[in-house]
Structure 1
Amino acid sequence: MLALRGGGSEALIPPEVLAGMIRHLEAAWPQEGCGVILRSGEGEGSSWRVVPLENASPTPRVAYAFAPEAWLQVCLDADVRQEEVACVFHSHVDAPAVFSAEDRRQAAPSGIPLLPQVSYVVVAIRGGRASSASRSVWRAGDFQTVPLALADFRFEKPV
């Protein structure tokens, strides 16, 4: 499982949720995929949901953007369901899984984070398959990034 920050605390996201995120990002290739992971509840009783979003960037091979109306709908639905955004995720196409300068500018315009309690996951997709991943969180006035083991994302429930 992967610990992600959300709502001011660290929480373990179940592997099958992470696998859903990876499936969406691989399916979006050769464009960047994007979305969010929402969480409701606390501790062992937490419930998780992957919300894939369409990439609304005018240059979707090298950037991602949420359409404002889609982001608003996610926020409204999350409010009704008493969920919080735990993670914003996106892929990099045939490029490293690093939280780029552009990712930083979008997440913290003017150096102020838009979602300071949220983790950002970047997954490198090469040839349609996830090859590496990283997680970034806002700490001490900047984003801190650590690599993630893809083995954590490759869980599939037995059939």
Structure 2
Amino acid sequence: MARPPFDPEGFAGPLAIPAEVVAAMVDHCLRESPRECCGLLGGVPPRVSSFHPLRNAAGSAETRYDADPRDLIEAVVDLRRRDAEILAIYHSHPRWEAIPSRTDLDENHYGAVPRIIVSLLNDPPDVRAWRLGRDDFREIPWVIADGTLHDPPAGE
């Protein structure tokens, strides 16, 4: 019996991300700094099982990212081959907090798919997950796959 497709609107979370995937994602962000970088996390809800770094096709932009179309297609083909879904899109903020920007909202082409922003302002980098709307956003919890919960900070 086929698994129903992932419905990010109805996904209550939290997203479970293995520690090694979090480490690989943060490492990708650090390697690409001071440029923003981007990528996908894939799997079967709620557990992430794959990491797909994508090249930033936005040239030398330090405050924008645009996923390389070929990389994006390869990642989606790989996910489909494994009967997996895009569970989150990540990108870095090398010089800003891990909070969605106006550009992040304006260029939200994947609707309710969770967004992970990695801020490189601190050591260790700050990793936060968000649900983006047209003109707003709300933080969503995520867990290290061993069960460590990363709840949104109180009052935000």
TM-score by length of 2: 0.72
Q: Which runs of 5+ in 1 are unaligned?
A: 1-5, 108-113, 154-159
Higher helix share: 1
* Cα displacement (A) at 1:20: 1.3
Is 1:123 matched with 2:118?
yes
Distance 1:130 1:12 in 2: 20
Q: Deviations over 1:39-94 (max 9, x none)?
A: 03x56xx5611111111113431111102222122212211111100110010112
Distance 1:96 1:115, change over 3 A: same
Structure 1 outlier segments of 4+, above 6 Å: none
Letter in 2 for 1:25: C
1:29 to 1:139, Cα distance in 2 relative to 1, 3 A: closer
Higher strand share: 1
Q: Does 1:132 align with 2:126?
A: yes
Q: For residues 59 and 26 of structure 1, what CA distance do their matches in structure 2 show?
A: 15
Label 1:102 to 1:19 Cα distance change in 2 as closer, same or farther (>3 A).
same
Instruction: Please tell me whether residue 65 in structure 1 is matched to residue 60 in structure 2.
Output: no
Letter in 1 for 2:130: S
Following superposition, the deviation at residue 102 of structure 1 comes to 0.1
Q: Contact 2:26 / 2:125 at 8 angstroms: preserved in 1? A: no
Look up the SS of the partner of 2:107 in the other structure: helix
Q: CA RMSD in A?
A: 3.0
Aligned length: 137
Task: Establish whether residue 32 from structure 1 lines up as the match of residue 36 from structure 2.
Answer: yes
Aligned to 1:97: 98
Show structure 2 runs of 5+ residues with no match: 1-5, 151-156
